Structure 1
Amino acid sequence: MSKHEERLQKRIAQAGVASRRKAEQLILDGKVKVNHQVVTKLGTKVTQQDVIEVSGVQLENETKVYYLLYKPRGVISSVKDDKGRKTITDLLPEVEERIFPIGRLDYDTSGIILLTNDGDFANMLMHPSYGVEKVYVAKIKGIPDPTELKRIKKGIKDGQDLLKAVRYKILSTDRKKNTSILEITLVEGKNRHVRRMMEQLGYPVLKLKREKYAFLTVDGLKPGEFRKLTPKEVHQLQAQSGKNVKQ
């Protein structure tokens, strides 16, 4: 299977025609054609070059878009929230494409996050095997012993997860307030990764911001602001991920 292929029902859902489940039913009912041929098999794979018709209407290939957002605290990294909280896509109301965040940032974490409608691009950046680095700055309670802090590179067990950092740096300490500021680099992004890792060491995170995503930063943006990635930046991310895989 080519990395550019995807399931027919997923493609229909992404086009906004119907939900994934409804799309499956449309296929079973013989309402879907691929390259002018009726398709009723749910496992069918398609590419961007295939012509797809649903109930006689041809799907348009959506232009791929890529955005960088400075996520503020108090926003959910999701396209919708059943509790009525502000979501990440609420911050990009003028974007017409059906975009989604690449990975997540916790509700109380700020910083850089990318959004796109390109599934292949998102999967490439999220998978740990591609080695895309994310740099966080964390303010923690306490002043960790340097020897003890080395454990985060070896990995700290929390439930079923092994939480690891690629590297870390102590940026500053405040003995009066009993706080420290750390720079922590990850290639994985498990749920509440940094917070859980530091809690296991006994140094709870008071404030957390993702400063860098690969070579990208939020320089020039205020919390809640966003911009499009340039074609050069998109190509750099793709090239860097490919390079990391080969190493």
Structure 2
Amino acid sequence: MERLQKVIAQAGIASRRKAEQLIVEGKVKVNGEVVTELGTKVSNSDKIEVEGIPVEREEKVYFLLYKPRGVISSVRDDKGRKTVIDFFPHVDKRIYPIGRLDYDTSGLLLLTNDGEFANLLMHPRYKIEKTYIAKLKGIPPRPALKQLEKGVELEDGMTAPAKVKFLSGDRKKNTAIVEITIHEGRNRQVRRMFEKIGYPVLKLRRERFAFLTLQGLNAGEFRELSPHEVKQLRELALRGE
């Protein structure tokens, strides 16, 4: 037996908080009866409707994809470009990416059909760390990287402090490789942060999401997360509350 709002959230219909609101507003039925009690628990055999639409309860799946460059982090693309879903033709469930990576950014991306899990990992308050390797135009001095560690002002506000590590520089090519770890997920955030300090990103790859890495995978390959990894991610997010 699971709480009704949790089942609705896991189906990807709404966040748990929104699901609770829908229940209180009388927009949820269980076995044809309107339910407004938040403590209500349901079993797999119960039929649930939200605003007249049946809730489909799929087996939950969790994938880790090494997204190549030139692929859209979306379920579909109106311009006909390749999306991350195209790497999963054998999966008959309605999976979608957790967050996104830019078209020109490669690296670690999680996909699932578990809406509550996705909301948990994407919410900024849970502070899940994401680590990127950036190839930069120019070789930033230490004071410039220090700005990123303190936070920089972007058009959508100040960034949270980042962890930054200079890995290498090539004076002949005038490029540098820098590792940066953030826990926010704003649009094109890493690229904008480096642009702000005057060192544009030439190439970007997400190397790590929490404790997960790309180990053993080539671009375009994926693997399923183990039940233990899924449990660890949940616990890690909830510790950040």
Same fold (TM over 0.5): yes
Could you state the TM-score of these two structures normalised by the residue count of structure 1?
0.80
Paired position in structure 2 for 1:195: 191
Paired position in structure 2 for 1:99: 95
Query: Where do 1:1-247 residues align within 5 Å?
Result: 5=5, 33-37=29-33, 49=43, 50-52=46-48, 60-245=56-241
In 2, distance between residues paired with 1:8 and 1:123?
12
Q: Which residues of structure 1 form unaligned runs of 5+?
A: 15-29
In 2, distance between residues paired with 1:38 and 1:177?
67
Give a deviation string over 1:165-202, Cα, whole Å, max 9, x none: 42000000111111110000010010001101101111
Q: In 1, are the aligned partners of 2:64 and 2:109 still within 8 Å (CA)? A: yes
Greater displacement, 58-67 / 146-155: 58-67
Percent identical across equivalent pairs? 56
In 2, distance between residues paired with 1:198 and 1:161?
15
In 1, distance between residues paired with 2:147 and 2:53?
57
In 1, distance between residues paired with 2:42 and 2:213?
31
Could you state the TM-score of these two structures normalised by the residue count of structure 2?
0.82
Amino acid paired to 1:129: R
In 1, distance between residues paired with 2:12 and 2:121?
24
In 2, distance between residues paired with 1:45 and 1:108?
45
Q: Which residues of structure 2 form unaligned runs of 5+?
A: 15-26
Amino acid paired to 2:200: P
RMSD value over aligned CA atoms?
3.2
In 1, distance between residues paired with 2:112 and 2:10?
16
- The alignment of Structure 1 onto Structure 2 pairs a total of residues equal to 226
SS in structure 2 of the partner of residue 5 of structure 1: helix
Shift of 1:58: 6.8
